[in-house]
Structures are given as C-alpha cells and as structure tokens.
Chains A and B, each alone.
Chain A
Amino acid sequence: MDYWVIIRIGEKPKGPYSIDEVVNLPLSPESLVWHTGLSEWLPATSFDEIKGIFEEEPEAAEPAAEASLAEEAPAEVPAAEESEPAEAVAEEVVESDEAQAENEVADEPAVAEEKTDIPPIPVMPPVFRPGNSRTQAQTAQQPPQFHAAQQQPLPQQQPLPQQEKPECPPTYLAWSIVFTIVCCWPFGIVGIIFAILTRTRFNRGNYKGAKKASEVAEWMCILAFTFGLVFWPLKLISL
C-alpha cells in the first residue's frame, strides 16, 4: 500500500512511501495522510497505524474522521439485509459473515484495514484543497448512509449500543405462516402483516409501536389457534 503525506498544510504531497517510511517522517498530528483506497486526505491521527508516533502528545481524537472512514467500508449490502445495521448493534455479534461484517462497523474505528481492498482504488492521491471543508469535498463519493452517520452523536461518546438498545420484540412470524397454511389464513395473513410492522417500527426506533404490533401479531396467532380449536368440534356437531 502506498502512502502519500502532506507534512505541513500548504506543502506539496510527498510519496509514495511504505508505512515503515511514513512513521519515520517528521509528522505532526496536523499532517495529512492519504493511501490507496481512501477517497480523501485524513489527519495523521486518524490512522491507527500512524498515530502511535504521537503517543507523547495528547491524542486529538478524530471521531468524525473515523466515522467517515467506517462509512466507506460497505460496498454492497445483500438485499435481505436492509434491517441489518439496527439489529447488528442491538445484539451481540457471535457469528461473522463476511458480507455483513462490513456493514455494522459504524462505531468501530478498527475498520481502517478493511476498506483497503475496496474495488475502485485511486492510484494517485486526490488534490488537497485547504479551502474546502472535508465533508463538502467528499459527499459525492460517500454511500448514502454517510449523512445518517454524521447526524449521529460522536461514536465515542455514545454509551455501548448493546446495553442501550432493546431487543426486537417477537414477531410470531413462524406461527403466522403456519396458521396461514394450516388453519385460518385471515388471522395468519394479518399476523404476517403485523410481523412486518413490528420489524419496521423497531428498525425506525419506534420501540413502543413495535411492542404493540408484536402484541397484535401474538393475538392473531391466539385467535387463529382458538378458532381452529372451536371450529373442529362445531364441524363435528353439525355433521
């Protein structure tokens, strides 16, 4: 991987360097660094592999930069994964599925290495324009989630999401499908619809609404079951 460096703002970019050469350069925390795969210049402090050399100085944490780094990672998200990010932070991730792994990293700075193998790799560093704010310069190249990520509070200051976010209430989806097929489709289909509602509301952060929809879905299953239980004896009597 080639690194290019602007040691002092206003100077010309120098490079390419290897990472071993970069860490021996007279960098300051304000120095800008770019390497293949990045879309724009970032402060030297936002690179995990470089910031070690500033150890003595108080580390200027760069949450915004890290958030934007993380957002570059997901290239494609499988269709079924629409709701994945919300769920992923809500639950402990035990299994790692490669396609999804990149998707949930929004608050883990450790992604820095992952995105180096993103397909469109610029060979030369982009032009650094001191006048432009970084966010303006890069919006066009960012995936859509970028804006959402920016409005969020800084990742470092958030409490751990695992503890914060409630678990998605049960959708009773399996039951609804079973009842649709086996017993009473009107209840089953309404149950499926409320299973969808549960998930949609949960994904939007409407936890109360999700709970309500979940309860309706549960009631649909109970109704379907009762209906089945009552219906069979009735049928027997009428014979």
Chain B
Amino acid sequence: MLAVVAAVVGVVVYSAYDPSASQLFPKCIFKSLTGYDCPGCGSQRAIHSLLHGDIAAAFGYNAMLVCSIPYLILLIYAELFRKKVPRLHSALTSVTAVLIILALVILWWVGRNIFHV
C-alpha cells in the first residue's frame, strides 16, 4: 500500500519536474563527497526521461536503471503471484541469479566511473 502511494507520488513528481533543472531534488551524497558516480547516479533524470518517453536519454543518464526495469517487473509479478508461479519466483530469486545481479551492479559502478558512461 505504502509502496503504491510512494510510486504514484514519485510518478507525479518526476514527470512534472525536471530534476536537472530544479534545486529541490536531492543530490547523491556519495557523489558530492567523493566526486565519483554511485550505481544510482542519474536515476532521477533517467526516471524523468522515461516518464516522458525518452528511453535513449534515460539510458544515457543511468543505463542500469533502464536495464533493470524488465527484471523488476517480472520480480514484482512473481512476488505478488508467488503461489501461481513458484518456479518463476524461485528462478528469479535463486542464489545464482542474485549473485549475477550483485556482480552486474558492482561492474556497472566501477565501469561507469572508468569509462564515464
């Protein structure tokens, strides 16, 4: 319930305002402290672009966010209907799958700071 409310508020806020043009949106602490991008840097701008249908720009702001959306949708579906799709659920949350995700996140984090994507 809380999640749904948060999601709706998020959609409204992030489609109405452009995070890169407004001072009101939070900046990443990690980035302001170290100067390096964190795995989530750019997601506010990416969400804004996504909500305006600009997938290419969103990909440019935070590629991992865009890539993770299909997986997250599947995962939420599997959580909600766990009884109906136990195999999908256990495949998506299996140790191997999660290890792969963790590795991807870390690779993405290191990679984006080296190659400045």
Chain A residues engaging chain B, CB cutoff 8 angstroms? 79-84, 87-88, 91-95, 97, 100, 168, 170-171, 173-174, 177-178, 180-185, 188-189, 192-193, 195-196, 199-200, 203, 228, 231-232, 235-236, 239
**Residues of B close to A192: CB separation below 8 A:** 98, 101-102, 105
Take A81-B91, A200-B95 as given contacts and tell me if A231 and B29 are in contact as well, using a CB distance cutoff of 8 Å: yes
Take A182-B43, A185-B30 as given contacts and tell me if A193 and B102 are in contact as well, using a CB distance cutoff of 8 Å: yes
Question: In the assembly, what is the distance between CA of A192 and CA of B65, in Å?
Answer: 16
Take A182-B40, A185-B39 as given contacts and tell me if A174 and B96 are in contact as well, using a CB distance cutoff of 8 Å: no
User: Counting CB contacts under 8 A, is B75 at the interface?
Assistant: yes
Take A93-B87, A94-B86, A232-B26 as given contacts and tell me if A195 and B105 are in contact as well, using a CB distance cutoff of 8 Å: no
**Residues of B close to A174: CB separation below 8 A:** 72, 75-76, 79
List B residues 11-30 near A (Cβ within 8 Å). Answer: 23-24, 26-27, 29-30
Take A177-B68, A232-B26 as given contacts and tell me if A82 and B102 are in contact as well, using a CB distance cutoff of 8 Å: no
Expressed in whole angstroms, the minimum distance between the Cβ of B90 and any Cβ of chain A is 4
Take A95-B85, A177-B101, A181-B65 as given contacts and tell me if A83 and B72 are in contact as well, using a CB distance cutoff of 8 Å: no
Q: Is the CB of B94 within 8 A of A181?
A: no
4 other A-B residue contacts (CB within 8 Å) besides A91-B86, A91-B90, A95-B87: A100-B87, A189-B102, A196-B95, A239-B23
Question: In the assembly, what is the distance between CA of A87 and CA of B94, in Å?
Answer: 9
**Residues of B close to A83: CB separation below 8 A:** 90, 94-96
Expressed in whole angstroms, the minimum distance between the Cβ of B26 and any Cβ of chain A is 5
- Judged by DSSP, the binding face of B is helix
Expressed in whole angstroms, the minimum distance between the Cβ of B84 and any Cβ of chain A is 6
Chain B residues engaging chain A, CB cutoff 8 angstroms? 23-24, 26-27, 29-30, 38-40, 43-44, 47, 62, 64-65, 68, 71-72, 75-76, 79, 83-88, 90-99, 101-102, 105, 109
Of the A-B pairs whose beta carbons lie under 8 Å apart in the complex, a sample of 17, sorted by A's number, is: A83-B94, A84-B91, A92-B83, A93-B86, A94-B86, A95-B86, A174-B72, A174-B75, A174-B76, A177-B71, A180-B105, A181-B62, A189-B105, A199-B93, A199-B95, A235-B27, A239-B23
Expressed in whole angstroms, the minimum distance between the Cβ of A91 and any Cβ of chain B is 4
Question: In the assembly, what is the distance between CA of A169 and CA of B85, in Å?
Answer: 16
**Residues of B close to A81: CB separation below 8 A:** 91, 94
Expressed in whole angstroms, the minimum distance between the Cβ of B72 and any Cβ of chain A is 6
**Residues of A close to B47: CB separation below 8 A:** 182
Expressed in whole angstroms, the minimum distance between the Cβ of A53 and any Cβ of chain B is 38
Q: Which residue of B lies closest to A87 (CB)?
A: B90
Expressed in whole angstroms, the minimum distance between the Cβ of A154 and any Cβ of chain B is 26
Take A183-B40, A231-B29 as given contacts and tell me if A80 and B91 are in contact as well, using a CB distance cutoff of 8 Å: yes
